[in-house]
Amino acid sequence: MHVVSPPVPIVIPGPATTPSEDPYLMPSLSLGNRAARALWAVACLLFVRFSPRPCHAWRAAVLRSFGARLGPNCHIYPRARIWAPWNLVCEDAVGIADGVVVYNPAPMHLGSHCVVSQDAYLCGATHDIDDPAFPMVSAPITIGPYAWICARAVVCAGVNVGEGAVLGLAGVATHDLETWTVYGGVPARVIRARKQR
């Protein structure tokens, strides 16, 4: 004997809410900020993304035209994704590799000769998970001189990476990293001191 299940009722959602009724629908940033980022996205696509790899000075000039403060000899590769150039400060000889995401709603400072390797993520914002409105919360990130953020590593909002510190492959820095120290893991833990030769 074949038993037929009763039909599953179809639930039709109520009318769509408006941003004033639902804080999840409200933009986190101002209209001016969103317009500037849209303009930057177009300029990045036209003038940065497909530029030849050796054209570091060209990419630096484009970034400076959008407010980035870059020292001499910065090597920012064409596939690096910088969210807000006007919030980026790089001292001299900074390297930002292909695939790096610089998510910087708050200011981000990269010290002299620091290196951010392929597919690393500098995450300058998060959300307040205890607030029912789930607002975006941003905080500055500082990477000290001669520090190295290895491939696929993540530096979280509000973290200061000390001078000469190393965050190993795919490590996640959720707290400040001490100077001349090697870290790894999730969350990042001290592995050893970095030797200076």
What pLDDT is attached to residue 23? 81
Return the structure tokens found at 78: 């064409």
Beta-carbon contacts of 11 under 8 Å, excluding residues fewer than 6 positions away, are: none
Give the tens place of pLDDT for each residue, 89-147: 999 999 999 999 999 999 999 999 999 999 999 999 999 999 988 999 999 999 999 99
What pLDDT is attached to residue 11? 59
Evaluate if residue 3 carries a pLDDT over 80. Answer: no
What pLDDT is attached to residue 15? 61
Neighbouring-strand partners of residue 192: 182
Give the tens place of pLDDT for each residue, 49-78: 999 999 999 999 999 999 999 999 999 999
Nearest alpha-carbon partner for 139 in 117, 162, 107, 114: 107
What pLDDT is attached to residue 137? 96
What pLDDT is attached to residue 19? 66
State whether residue 59 is helix, strand or coil.
helix
**Percentage of residues in the chain with pLDDT exceeding 70?**
90
Q: Read off the pLDDT band of 17 (50, 70, 90).
A: low
Evaluate if residue 5 carries a pLDDT over 80. Answer: no
Residue pair 172/188 in contact (Cβ under 8 Å)? The answer is yes
Residue pair 180/163 in contact (Cβ under 8 Å)? The answer is yes
Give the tens place of pLDDT for each residue, 135-178: 999 999 999 999 999 999 999 999 999 999 999 999 999 999 99
What pLDDT is attached to residue 2? 66
Supply the mean pLDDT for the chain.
93
| CA 160 – CA 162 distance, rounded (Å) | 6
